[in-house]
Amino acid sequence: MLRILSVHCERGEPKLAQFIHRMKPVFISVFCLWFSLAANAELTLKEIRTASKDVLVAYFQSNVIISNEVNTAELAAWRLNGQPVKAISKFVTEADACDHHIYLQVPVLVNGTSYTLRTPHGERTFVFNEERTFCESIKSNQSGYSALSRVRYANFAIWLGDGGSRQISGDLPSYKVIKQADGKTIARGKLQSIGEDASSGDFVYRIDLSAVPEGGPYKIAVQGYGCSHPFGVGAEFSRRLGFVSFRSLYHQRCGCPIAEPYAWNIKTNPCHTTVWQVNGPIGEARLIVTGNEPTFTAFGGYHDAGDADRRTYHMDVPVTLMTTYEAFPQMFTDDQFNIPDKFDENYHIVGKGNGIPDILDEAMWGTMFWEYMQETNGQVHWGTETKGYSPFTTYEKDSTRFGTEVLDPRSASFASGMFMHMARLIKPYNAARSQELQKHAEAAFAAAGGDVRLTHKLYFAVEKYLLTGDEAAHQLVKDLSTNASGYANTYNGAPESFAGNGWLASYFFSYIVARDRPTDPLVVDRFKAAIRAAAEKEIEYLAGNAYPVGTPPNLRWWGSNTAQGQYAYPCLLQWSLTREQKYIDAASQLMDYVQGLNPIGKCYMTGLGFNRVHNPHDRESAYTKRQGWGPRPGILVFGPGGTGRGVSIPAVGGLARERKYIDNLGSIQWSEFTVYQSLCFPSAVYPVLGQGGKYDDAHDPFSMPQK
């Protein structure tokens, strides 16, 4: 590189020469660093896997990211039982730090036979056992299928990295499901062809798991090919998934200690409690806080994503939690998710067990911040922001100053319904708190005035009528009820729209299930029709893809390919109203996607699965990783689609949309998340799929002896 730049200098480019002179020490440092990394690289052959009956996978892990670190240049250097392999292809991708999947074309493997694989990086003797040798082509939910669903499956698809996709040659193989503890066969079947799938680029085959009973862990063994990762059905497997997902909200809290015995000791004191009164324009990381502005103290709400701003969009979190509680009240209890709910006046943790269901406690935490953001005239700030971003460490060490953004009628509009909803649900537990929230709601609605969104106007009217019995509010519900049909057109849109004209089911669902006030049957039918229309639309999308991604090809927003919780939500609500099996089946299938039932076989939620996310774009995860704990659990990253940077062979730009992903911290379209896009709906849906209940996080069902 230095030589090339020197050639340019010799051709009479004085500015470039000066630049080279100044930068030469930097270039030398970079090259020294590169050679140092190369010298200290640790490349390990971790496992011999399969991708097909005649394709072995030499799976290497490295502590450095060098795409060609595994030497595949000479075919003769790769030998199976002394014979050169027939062909080599590869899949190289960033992980912890880099994974190298080397695909080797070999003679058809024979079950129970011993083989010796020689590579340029050492050799390994192994026995091919279709019940024990992992087959990358089997894609399953690695956490827990819901026992509520009667449709459970894994997909089978052969993909050889830069060797592309491949169909099964000859007859389709049979498979069996075995219990991991004793090898007992639980179910049998034969792969069924689904066909070529444009969204993934795969030739997909289906493995039916509907006959597998609740329990586990199980494995799928495909005759002649190998076996899946372990998986479970229902029981502790599903409860664990609901527990981890729900608690992602606690981990994301702002102004709250995240500490033992509720979590790892990430921060023992509340963070970001001082807010500077700037009233600056809305915009990410562009708000200048001098430190000379007036300040006030605020608690509650959530860090937005990998950064720490709090935004109006976050209101969909408490709103969704409250609706989920109303739809499934029997599934949610106090002390269910091991979150603190007793605090002193400065929100240091005192304990837990306040008698209020944890889901309402979490909704209150999300609601509370917006009370601090409301001025005495009822107007509400858009949120808090800063200039730039916080450092990658625990927020307890973050000295970044956050200031208020402008007072925005959309914030007051959205908050009016949220405050009234919370006032109604908290009333049986704390009547005085209910009265406070009702006053906040009335003031916000008045402040929004003529700028109140139609969506939020209906939401406010529904909740006010159900709380107070106000007939003027009831009439407003009747007058606006036909507009709820818009839900089917916006339920799967970018969540930012819910602060404007996008419809959430929460804006009218309470009226459907109301028991304490008279309701208009015609209005109830309109609202039910809106839920059903969205659910039916989602079922069509689900059927249109081989994997349960649940989106049409033209749906594009950050995180849209892992937003199955949002897509599943109308199906879940429809099932709550009718108990029609197809709706819970659809919701369950959609939620299998991010747990590993996807083309990459990746569990996109941190802390779960066997093929995990290692590098979420999250500041406090950087801290927990340095402690040796791994990323904060429960973060659902944006996942595949879009663009980014990082090392990958083949290059992701040429891959189908569901394969465009690199586990690279700096590629925020893949590795970041938000509390309102990524964590909100899964935290509500997974506990329902797990049928409520309490999970003991001291006992991992995948490591416990199974009966």
Q: Which residues contact 586 (CB under 8 A, 6 or more apart)?
A: 535, 538, 539, 542, 568, 571
**In CATH terms, are 43-127 and 138-233 the same topology?**
yes
∠544-638-686 over CA atoms, to 5°?
70
Q: Where are the alpha helices (DSSP H) in 546-679?
A: 564-578, 581-592, 619-626, 668-671
Asked, as a colleague might, if the bond just before 631 is cis with ω within 30 of 0, I would say no
Q: DSSP assignment, residue 352?
A: S
- Which H or E run contains 255? none
State the Cα–Cα distance between residues 247 and 337, nearest whole angstrom.
7
Q: What pairs with residue 92 in β-bridges?
A: 100, 649
Segments making up each domain of the chain, as ranges = 2-39, 43-127, 138-233, 237-689
Rounded distance between C-alpha atoms, residue 661 and residue 121, angstroms: 28
Which pLDDT value is given to residue 27?
38
Q: 139, 598 in Cβ contact below 8 A?
A: yes
d(CA 441, CA 367): 11
pLDDT at residue number 306 = 85
CA nearest to 508, candidates 584, 573, 579: 573
Q: Which of 222, 73, 59 is nearest to 140 (CA)?
A: 222
CA angle in degrees (0–180, nearest 5) for 226-228-230? 140
Q: Number of helices (H) and strands (E), helices first, in the chain? A: 17, 27
Instruction: Tell me phi and psi for residue 483, to 5 degrees.
Output: -70, -20
Neighbours of 361 (CB within 10 A): 23
Structure tokens at 573: 């609500």
What are the C-alpha distances in Å from 306 to residues 484, 608, 675?
34, 19, 9
pTM (predicted TM-score): 0.93
Phi, psi dihedral angles at 700 (to 5 degrees): -80, 120
Which residue matches tokens 């299930």? 513
Residue from 156, 147, 48, 182 nearest 103 by CA: 48
In our burial notation (b when 16+ CB lie closer than 10 A, e otherwise), range 294-303 reads: eeeebbbbbb
Whether the Cβ atoms of residue 123 and residue 116 lie closer than 8 Å to each other: yes
Q: How far apart are the first and last CA of the chain?
A: 62
Q: Are 331 and 694 in contact (CB under 8 A)?
A: no
- pLDDT single digits (tens) 450-500: 999 999 999 999 999 999 999 999 999 999 999 999 999 999 999 999 999
Whole-angstrom distance, CA of residue 694 vs CA of residue 247 = 12
Give the 3-state secondary structure of residue 51.
Answer: strand
CA atoms of 684 and 323, how far apart (whole Å): 9
Q: At 458, is the secondary structure helix, strand, or coil?
A: helix
Residue 293 has, within 13 A of its CA and on its CB side, a CA count of 18
Model pLDDT, residue 3: 27
Q: What is the dihedral of CA 489, 493, 499, 501, to 10 degrees?
A: -30
As a whole number of angstroms, the distance between CA 571 and CA 564 comes to 11
Sheet of 153-156, strands arranged across: 138-139, 153-156, 202-208, 192-197
**Which CATH superfamily hosts domain 138-233?**
Immunoglobulins (2.60.40.10)
Question: Architecture of domain 43-127 in CATH?
Answer: Sandwich (2.60)
The architecture in CATH of the region 237-689 reads Alpha/alpha barrel (1.50)
Cβ burial of 467 (10 Å; 0-12, 13-18, 19+) is buried
Residues of the chain short of pLDDT 50, as ranges, are 1-38, 706-707
Neighbour order of strands in the sheet with 79-80: 83-84, 79-80, 114-119, 122-127
